[in-house]
């Protein structure tokens, strides 16, 4: 036990430790499957018979993995992913630096590794997990993952484009207009075409009819889209779009497939990557059925570098994130945010995270000292002097508390984290490529598809509605015996077209007729899934 203001006299330390270890053992004894994270550590002494773990049934109550750079967050994530997959639950995780690629390769038991696992009482043996490697737009070695602009939705896209609230509202109106006029926005070129049309001579009346949308706002949005495209983001938007059922697969022997999304060059497009992850989460909420509380979740979703998602986000966006996290629990999805500090997350999100795994906290500056005090304040009352313990944790140690099946927090426990059974660290791309090439998903998503969408439909519509050139009438000679028609004499009136004929000639009505009967759902983020 760490020294602190409430530390008992030395002659009582053994009794206090015995009582504390008994309380922790009881607090982490659960009925049903458990994801084992490690063992209790008191000072430098591990207690192999006091296992620290998370009830599998409670993973959909979400969690947080925190810690300074280099303190072991990635290894903790790897240990959790291995065990969740082995329990039959699919896993999704972004692979920021490629360090999780080792999940696909069994580890080699070195002398140092085996000494650690033996001391912790870990039943260790090398093993690989079933891994599917994904890459945004094919930028990387994995299966290309794409999303259409329509399904991405205006709120998420506004976050990527760094729009202000007025511009975000304008983008919402543009998406609504594209929906109601039957113009699918597949890629950024489609969105540019719609914006350019609304500010053109042909579309200015439609722009005025939208209300609250200025040509200046459209110009700003167009410039932001061009800047995003210049960063190479166009490859992320398109078809075929990822079927989210491919993230919830299991192997023939019942293990959950781990889907790793490769995120190269994160520093160049941080908001795009983080917002793409939020799109996946929002789409899961839209597509998965309600399942309530089960003995195991349908999917565990790790959200690495979570601070990127909330940086400079609008109030509407933060509200939508909090609602998604709160409601997606009923869909059987557990979300674990991985970041450096709890302060990186809004309070509305932080309050919904039932499990906490906190690695070392550094307090070398006044701001870091303030962050440490705030972190300590978020934990249940414990026998530790947490401010001191959190600064003294070694690499591979964490302070843990989770939600038990009754909804109560477990005792705060200093934990030695188990070693992964797979390789720790990056695996060379040439080792992974043969397996990726054989993936059934590569055959489905490997080749991009460019179908007729808003850009082509608008061009055809403008050409169809353009006035035909007026021909100069030629006077024809009157038939023999017939008097020529007087110049001012009107022709016989033509019958008025019926209402149905008039409607059938209207291109807007024709487009709306095509989409009649098609159910269009807008989620919390304005994403859309056609069911």
Q: Indicate the residue among 177, 203, 236 that finishes a domain.
A: 236
The two beta strands, 299-304 and 91-95, are parallel
Looking at the structure, do residues 359 and 422 belong to the same domain, yes or no?
yes
**Of 361, 363, 352, nearest in space to 323 by CA:** 352
283 and 369 inside one domain: yes
Burial class from Cβ neighbours inside 10 Å (0-12, 13-18, 19+) for residue 121 reads middle
> Does any domain span residue 467?
no
Instruction: Say if residue 290 is in the same domain as residue 358.
Output: yes
Mean pLDDT of all residues in the chain? 83
Q: Which of 376, 397, 427 is the last residue of a domain?
A: 427
In percent, the amount of the chain with pLDDT more than 90 equals 44
Q: Look at strands 355-358 and 333-339 and give their pairing.
A: unpaired
Domain that holds residue 165: 149-236
Residue 256 pLDDT? 96
* Predicted confidence (pLDDT) at residue 122 exceeds the cutoff of 70: yes
Q: How many domains does the chain have?
A: 2
Q: Across the strands, what pairs with 35?
A: 54
395 and 319, same structural domain? yes
Q: What is the pLDDT of residue 188?
A: 93
Tell me if 498 is assigned to some domain.
no
- Cα–Cα distance for residue pair 143/124, rounded to 1 Å: 31
Residue 442 domain flag: no
| Nearest residue to 295 via CA among 326, 332, 245, 258 | 332
Each residue of 3-39: b (16+ CB within 10 Å) or e?
eeeeeeeeeeeeebbeebbeebbebbebeebbbbbbb
Tokens of 353: 């995270």
Whole-prediction pTM: 0.82
Using pLDDT thresholds of 50, 70 and 90, give the confidence band for residue 530.
Answer: very low
Mean pLDDT is lowest, of 118-132, 255-269, 344-358, 419-433, for: 255-269
Paired tokens of 194: 């719609």
The rounded distance, in Å, linking the Cα atoms of 4 and 20 is 15
Q: Which of 8-12, 44-48, 116-120 has the highest mean pLDDT?
A: 116-120
| Domain shared by 395 and 290, yes or no | yes
Say how many CA atoms lie within 13 Å of 416 toward its Cβ.
Answer: 20
Element (H, E) at 444: helix 440-445
Q: What are the residues whose beta carbons fall under 8 Å from the beta carbon of 312, sequence distance 6 or more? A: 162
Which residues pair with residue 257 across a beta bridge? Answer: none
Which residues is 335 bridged to in the sheet? Answer: 301
Q: Predicted confidence band at 524 (pLDDT cuts at 50, 70, 90)?
A: low
Mean pLDDT over 409-426 rounds to 94
Parallel, antiparallel, or unpaired for β 45-55 and 34-42? antiparallel
User: Is residue 138 included in any domain, yes or no?
Assistant: no
Written as one string, the DSSP assignment of 149-193 is: HHHH-HHHHHHHHT--HHHHHHHHHHHHHHHHTT----SHHHHHH
Q: Are residues 170 and 73 in the same domain?
A: no
Show which of 379, 400, 427 is a domain's final residue: 427
Alpha helices in 42-127 (DSSP H): 73-86, 111-119
Q: Specify if 241 maps to a domain.
A: no
Contact 124, 419 (CB under 8 A): yes
Same domain, 232 and 347: no
Closest CA to 410 of 27, 35, 47, 50: 27
The answer to whether residue 394 sits within a structural domain is: yes
pLDDT tens-digit readout, 81-99? 999 999 999 999 998 888 8
- Preceding omega of 179 cis (within 30 degrees of 0): no
| Rounded CA separation 166/173 (Å) | 11
DSSP code string of 379-434: SPP-SS-HHHHHHHPPTTEEEEE-B-TTSPBPPPEEEEEPPPSB--S---HHHHHH
- Evaluate if residue 271 carries a pLDDT over 50: yes
Same domain assignment for residues 166 and 299: no
Q: Are residues 269 and 379 in the same domain?
A: yes
Which has more pLDDT, 170 or 208? 170
Is the same domain home to 197 and 292? Answer: no
User: Does residue 502 or residue 224 have the better pLDDT?
Assistant: 224
Whether 527 has a pLDDT exceeding 80, the answer reads: no
Q: Which of 204-208, 298-302, 347-351 has the lowest mean pLDDT?
A: 204-208
CA 307 – CA 64 distance, rounded (Å)? 12
Question: Which of the 8 DSSP states describes residue 61?
Answer: G
pLDDT grade, residue 492 (50/70/90)?
very low
pLDDT (tens digit, 9 = 90+) per residue, 305-338? 888 888 877 787 888 888 889 999 999 999 999 9
Q: Is residue 38 part of a domain?
A: yes
Kindly state whether residues 294 and 390 are assigned to the same domain.
yes
Whether the pLDDT of residue 184 is over 80: the answer is: yes
Assign residue 125 the CATH number of its domain.
3.40.50.300
Give a yes or no: residue 11 inside a domain: no
Identify whether residues 232 and 261 lie together within a single domain.
no
């Amino acid at each position: 036990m760490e020294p602190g203001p409430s530390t008992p006299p030395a002659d009582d330390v053994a009794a206090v430790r015995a009582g504390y270890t008994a309380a922790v053992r009881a607090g982490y004894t659960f009925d049903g499957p458990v994801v084992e994270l490690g063992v209790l550590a008191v000072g430098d002494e591990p207690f192999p018979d006091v296992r620290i773990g998370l009830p599998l049934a409670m993973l959909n109550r979400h969690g947080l993995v925190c810690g300074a750079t280099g303190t072991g967050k990635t290894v903790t994530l790897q240990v959790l992913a291995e065990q969740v997959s082995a329990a039959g639950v699919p896993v999704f995780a972004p692979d920021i630096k490629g360090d999780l690629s080792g999940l696909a390769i069994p580890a080699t038991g070195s002398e140092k590794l085996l000494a650690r696992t033996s001391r912790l009482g870990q039943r260790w043996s090398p093993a690989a997990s079933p891994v599917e490697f994904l890459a945004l737009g094919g930028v990387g070695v994995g299966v290309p993952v794409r999303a259409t602009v329509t399904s991405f939705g205006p709120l998420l896209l506004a976050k990527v484009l760094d729009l202000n609230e007025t511009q975000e509202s304008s983008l919402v109106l543009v998406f609504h207009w594209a929906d109601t006029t039957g113009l699918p926005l597949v890629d950024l070129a489609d969105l540019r075409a719609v914006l350019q049309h609304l500010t053109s001579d042909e579309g200015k009346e439609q722009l005025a009819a939208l209300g609250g949308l200025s040509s200046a706002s459209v110009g700003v949005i167009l410039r932001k889209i061009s800047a995003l495209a210049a960063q190479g983001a166009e490859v992320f938007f398109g078809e075929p779009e990822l079927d989210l059922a491919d993230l919830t697969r299991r192997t023939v022997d019942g293990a959950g497939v781990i889907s790793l999304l490769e995120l190269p060059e994160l520093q160049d497009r941080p908001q795009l990557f983080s917002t793409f992850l939020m799109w996946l989460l929002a789409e899961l909420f839209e597509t998965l059925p309600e399942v309530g509380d089960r003995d195991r979740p349908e999917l565990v979703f790790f959200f690495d570098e979570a601070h990127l998602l909330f940086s400079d986000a609008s109030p509407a966006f933060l509200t939508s994130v909090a609602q998604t996290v709160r409601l997606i629990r009923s869909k059987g999805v557990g979300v674990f945010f991985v970041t450096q500090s709890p302060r990186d997350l809004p309070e509305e999100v932080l309050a919904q995270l039932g499990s906490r795994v906190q690695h070392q906290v550094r307090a070398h500056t006044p701001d870091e000292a303030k962050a440490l005090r705030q972190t300590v304040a978020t934990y249940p009352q414990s026998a530790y002097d947490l401010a001191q313990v959190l600064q003294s944790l070694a690499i591979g140690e964490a302070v843990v508390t989770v939600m038990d099946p009754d909804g109560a927090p477990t005792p705060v426990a200093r934990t030695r984290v188990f070693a992964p059974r797979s390789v720790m660290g990056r695996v060379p791309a040439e080792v992974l490529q043969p397996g990726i090439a054989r993936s059934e998903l590569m055959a489905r998503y490997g080749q991009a598809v460019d179908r007729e969408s808003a850009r082509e439909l608008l061009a055809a519509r403008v050409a169809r509605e353009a006035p035909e050139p007026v021909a100069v009438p030629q006077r024809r000679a009157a038939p023999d015996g017939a008097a020529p028609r007087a110049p001012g004499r009107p022709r016989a009136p033509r019958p008025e077209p019926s209402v149905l004929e008039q409607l059938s000639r209207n291109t807007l009505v024709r487009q709306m007729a095509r989409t009649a009967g098609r159910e269009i759902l807008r989620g919390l983020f304005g994403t859309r899934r056609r069911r």
